[in-house]
């Protein structure tokens, strides 16, 4: 991003991207908090206003009532006489002649009139009571309450628009900065033509498909298009991205390094461009020109989830602008753990924020560089530290309150979040233990013994500077609980975590960390010492990651569409005749899907295609989804894509990757590729255990528990 100060110490690109995205993020927070606050206002209104004795409640006072148009003083005798004297109605319809007119019964007419008068008196009494209770205080209160309701209603109705505007700004910014996710970033002079051509083709295909879908499908259907502005923005977005890509192709960076090769240049093609090109070729081959745009539209169907992801990314970037991680590591350092033990401690601790962010990639983006640095400083190999950084976001996706599990439960009525979280704890303990045991087996040296007394005293001293941050977290959570009657869980975490992080950033900047210390502790992305600079820098980083990650997620949905339309899933038999064979085939298929798709798009695809087959083959639904989550994480760490590895490369930088490769250039095959092999081995063993051991547990768990209870009882 161009940081040349133009106005108020901000570049033109920052004015274009940072300020609007910051406003959209804050608006999303306000909308989410407004929903909670509005519920409290309604409860407060019921307690403060109304007249319970006369059955007048606050909800009746939220708007001025309409006076009843009936007459409470109606003369019953006159009304009955008038109706009895009224001439019979003559109809020209011959069918009416089939039904003879019955003489009017004066008693029935009087009874009807008396009931109508009683109802009218009741309505007028209620009207007068409501008007009497609409005091100036009520009017002031309901103005605030209905104002928050308006904000919440606006946000609920326009979530797709908010997401699309935020996504469009982020995508343009990411494209201008060449920050899209690829197997490796463009670096050499021969990389940029390959990169540029792929971007022009991919964005051009996106433009063509979006225009074709709107003009030749939606408008041609004859049905009015609902919210056409969404289609206009999508078309304009791809038009701008195509124009930027053409300019970048014609004007490559002048500071590109000499060398490179055309073959290796193919590795610099962004994954989203590769997905857009391949899926478009498939769709066009079927005569389905609108296919890419249709599947991109699914991004808007799940706008709430992707807005939550944006908030999680922002919270992670705010975390990087504080000393929190460094101070927490100070608590662990006195124990002088071996690199393997320290890494295990870090990964277990990282599982908690990973669970709250809901996706492994987001935590890798937020804290992967920090994990790498801490593991490296403990004396670990660079390749081992990179492996740890890649795995840092992988273990916690099965824990509460992971957003991915919420989506699974929403799409599959056969499972609940409580069931999935319950099994998730066991899967987490399994995979983390496997990592620890393998790491100990591979360690090269022995750890130095530590005096536990000295270590505990050092840890206790280190807790002192950490304690204010803990107090802030507890205070914000309790404030939500007390004032808004809202707990921190999988549904409220997207709103509460950014608020918590904003308070932590404010407190952290009040302590005025020296700039020299900030640079030492965070050399890859210098922590801004001032509050405004820290929030602005965190927002700038958020924009880049939103553009890269959500663009990749959106295009991976189109890959899912290609898989779905290819008939591959239809070729999977509905009944394998053997549950072990079904488990084996599905395990391989799920790992493949994890290699090529993002988790949210993959869950949508699996829910619609593979899950019904699994259920029909007798696979327990909860067990099946534990297999899915573990297989996906293995896929995200496995070549040829290995998304989490690519995200680590992006956050630590190419220089670090070159240093890691140089360090092991003369070592054995395993140590040269340890950052790839170690995570794959750990999660492969974990997956096999979950698949086959989990099935044994499903079949014999009750029997084993009964035997164990009998043994303990005896």
The per-residue pLDDT for range 222-266, each reduced to its tens digit, is 888 888 999 999 999 999 999 999 999 999 998 888 888 898 899
Task: Indicate left, alpha or beta for 484 from its phi (over 0: left) and psi (-120 to 50: alpha).
Answer: alpha
Nearest-angstrom CA–CA distance, 310 and 32: 13
Instruction: Provide the token pair at 518.
Output: 């900030």
User: Helices (H) and strands (E) in the chain — how many of each?
Assistant: 30, 0
DSSP letter for each residue of 339-395: HHHHHHHHHHHHHHHHHHHSSHHHHHHHHHHHHHHHHHHTT--HHHHHHHHHHTTTS
| pTM attached to this predicted model | 0.83
The chain-wide mean pLDDT, for the chain, equals 87
Answer for the pair 522, 146: CB distance below 8 angstroms, yes or no: no
Is the per-residue pLDDT at 668 higher than 80?
A: yes
Q: What angle do CA 23, 20, 34 make, to 5 degrees?
A: 20
Tell me the average pLDDT across 367-373.
Answer: 85
Calculate mean pLDDT across residues 335-350: 90
Neighbours of 565 (CB within 10 A): 17
- Going by C-alpha positions, the residue among 454, 457, 465, 432 that lies closest to residue 328 is 465
Burial 17-37 (b: 16+ CB within 10 A, else e): bbebbbebbebbbbbbbbbbb
Angle at 416 (CA atoms; ends 414, 419), nearest 5 degrees: 110
Joined tokens for residue 41: 């206002």
Using pLDDT thresholds of 50, 70 and 90, give the confidence band for residue 2: very low
Closest CA to 683 of 595, 613, 566: 595
Residues 6+ away with beta carbon under 8 Å from 193: 249, 252, 265
pLDDT in tens, 139-158: 999 998 888 888 778 888 89
Take residue 335 and report the two structure tokens written for it: 């124990």
Closest C-alpha to 201, from 297, 298, 281: 281
Read off the pLDDT of each residue in 32-57 and give the average, rounded to a whole number: 85
What is the pLDDT confidence band of residue 489, given thresholds at 50, 70 and 90? confident
Please state the rounded mean pLDDT for residues 334-350.
Answer: 90
Say yes or no to pLDDT of 11 above 50: yes
Burial of 369 (0-12, 13-18, 19+ CB in 10 A): buried
Higher pLDDT, 324 or 358: 324
For residues 538 and 322, the answer to whether their CB atoms sit within 8 Å is no
Token code pair at residue 57: 């409640």
Nearest Cα to Cα of residue 550 among 161, 29, 275, 171 = 171
From the list 41, 46, 73, the residue with the least C-alpha distance to 58 is 46
Residue 257 phi, psi dihedral angles, 5° rounding: -75, 150
Distance CA 539, CA 560 (A): 31
Q: In this structure, what token pair is assigned to residue 674?
A: 């340890």
Q: How confident is the model at residue 35 (pLDDT cuts 50, 70, 90)?
A: confident
Q: What is the pLDDT of residues 524-578, one digit of tens each?
A: 445 666 888 889 888 988 998 889 888 888 888 888 888 888 877 677 777 888 9
DSSP character string of 83-134 = HHHSPPPP---GGGGGSPPPPP-HHHHHHHHHHHHHHHHHHHHHHHHHHHH-
Percent of the chain whose pLDDT exceeds 90:
43
Q: What is the mean pLDDT of residues 482-488?
A: 87
Cβ of 575: how many Cβ atoms within 10 Å? Answer: 10
- Tokens representing 589 are 């298929």
Token readout for 52 is 């319970």
Is the pLDDT confidence value at 3 over 50? no
Residue written as tokens 């033509």? 193
pLDDT at 91 over 60: no
Show Cβ contacts of residue 253 under 8 Å, excluding neighbours closer than 6 positions: 192
Q: What is the CA radius of gyration of the chain?
A: 32
Q: Which residues contact 713 (CB under 8 A, 6 or more apart)?
A: none
Question: 175 vs 6, which has greater pLDDT?
Answer: 175
**What band does 1 get if pLDDT is binned at 50, 70 and 90?**
very low
Q: Work out the angle between the directed axes of helices 228-250 and 159-176 (0-180°, nearest 10).
A: 0
d(CA 247, CA 239) in angstroms, rounded, equals 13
Rounded to an integer, what distance in angstroms lies between the CA atom of residue 517 and that of residue 513?
7
**Spatial separation of the C-alpha atoms in residues 16 and 21, rounded to whole Å:** 9
Q: How far apart are alpha carbons 148 and 199 in whole angstroms?
A: 43
State the pLDDT confidence band at 86, using cuts at 50, 70 and 90.
low
């Amino acid at each position: 991003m161009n940081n040349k100060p133009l106005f108020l110490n901000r570049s033109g690109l920052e004015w274009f991207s940072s300020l609007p995205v910051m406003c959209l993020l804050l608006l999303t927070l306000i909308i989410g908090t407004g929903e909670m606050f509005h519920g409290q206002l309604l409860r407060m209104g019921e307690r403060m206003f109304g007249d319970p004795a006369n059955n007048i409640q606050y909800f009746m006072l939220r708007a001025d009532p309409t006076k009843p148009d009936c007459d409470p003083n109606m003369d019953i005798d006159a009304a009955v006489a008038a109706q009895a004297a009224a001439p019979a109605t003559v109809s020209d319809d011959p069918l009416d002649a089939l039904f003879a007119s019955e003489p009017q019964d004066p008693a029935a007419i009087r009874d009807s009139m008396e009931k109508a008068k009683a109802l009218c008196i009741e309505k007028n009494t209620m009207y007068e009571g409501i008007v009497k209770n609409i005091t100036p205080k009520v009017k002031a209160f309901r103005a605030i309450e209905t104002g928050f309701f308006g904000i919440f209603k606006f946000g609920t109705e326009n979530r797709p628009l908010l997401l699309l505007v935020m996504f469009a700004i982020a995508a343009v910014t990411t494209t201008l900065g060449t920050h899209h996710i690829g197997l490796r970033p463009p670096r050499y002079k021969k990389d940029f033509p390959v990169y540029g051509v792929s971007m022009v083709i991919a964005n051009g295909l996106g433009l063509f498909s979006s225009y074709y879908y709107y003009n030749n499908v939606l408008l041609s259907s004859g049905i009015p298009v609902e919210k056409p502005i969404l289609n206009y923005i999508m078309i304009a977005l791809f038009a701008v991205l195509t124009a930027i890509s053409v300019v970048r192709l014609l004007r490559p960076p002048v500071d590109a390094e000499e060398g490179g090769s055309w073959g290796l240049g193919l590795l610099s093609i962004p994954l989203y461009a590769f997905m857009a090109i391949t899926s478009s070729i498939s769709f066009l081959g079927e005569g389905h020109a609108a296919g890419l745009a249709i599947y991109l539209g699914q991004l808007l169907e799940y706008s709430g989830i992707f807005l939550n992801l944006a908030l999680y990314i922002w919270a992670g970037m705010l975390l990087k602008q504080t000393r929190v991680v460094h101070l927490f590591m100070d608590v662990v350092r006195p124990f002088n753990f071996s690199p393997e033990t320290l890494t295990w401690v870090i990964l277990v601790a990282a599982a908690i924020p990973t669970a709250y962010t809901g996706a492994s990639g987001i935590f890798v983006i937020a804290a992967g560089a920090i994990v790498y640095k801490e593991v490296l400083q403990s004396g670990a190999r660079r390749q081992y530290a990179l492996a740890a950084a890649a795995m840092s976001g992988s273990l916690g996706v099965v824990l509460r309150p992971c957003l991915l599990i919420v989506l699974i439960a929403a799409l599959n009525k056969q499972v609940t979040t409580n069931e999935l979280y319950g099994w998730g704890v066991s899967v987490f303990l399994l995979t983390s233990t496997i990592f620890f045991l393998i790491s100990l087996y591979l360690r090269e040296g022995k750890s130095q013994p530590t005096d536990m007394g000295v270590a505990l005293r050092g840890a206790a001293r280190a807790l002192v500077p950490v304690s204010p941050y803990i107090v802030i977290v507890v205070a914000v959570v309790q404030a939500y609980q007390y004032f808004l009657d809202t707990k921190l869980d999988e549904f409220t975490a997207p709103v509460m975590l950014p608020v918590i992080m904003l308070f932590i950033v404010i407190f952290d900047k009040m302590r005025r960390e020296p700039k020299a210390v900030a640079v030492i502790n965070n050399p890859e992305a210098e922590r801004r010492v001032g509050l405004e600079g820290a929030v602005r820098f965190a927002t700038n980083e958020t924009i880049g990651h939103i553009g890269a990650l959500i663009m990749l997620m959106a295009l991976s949905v189109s890959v899912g569409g290609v898989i779905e339309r290819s008939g591959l899933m239809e070729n999977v038999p509905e009944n394998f005749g053997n549950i072990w064979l079904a488990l084996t085939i599905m395990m391989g298929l799920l790992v493949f899907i994890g290699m090529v798709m993002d988790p949210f798009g993959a869950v949508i695809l699996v829910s619609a295609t593979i899950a019904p087959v699994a259920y029909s083959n007798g696979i327990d639904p909860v067990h099946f989804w534990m297999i899915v989550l573990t297989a996906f994480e293995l896929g995200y760490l496995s070549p040829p894509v290995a998304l989490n590895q690519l995200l680590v490369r992006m956050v630590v930088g190419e220089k670090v990757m070159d240093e890691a490769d140089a360090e092991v250039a003369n070592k054995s095959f395993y140590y040269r590729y340890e950052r790839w092999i170690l995570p794959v081995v750990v999660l492969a063993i974990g997956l096999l255990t979950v698949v086959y051991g989990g099935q044994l547990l499903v079949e014999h768990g009750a029997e084993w528990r009964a035997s164990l209870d009998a043994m303990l009882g005896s």
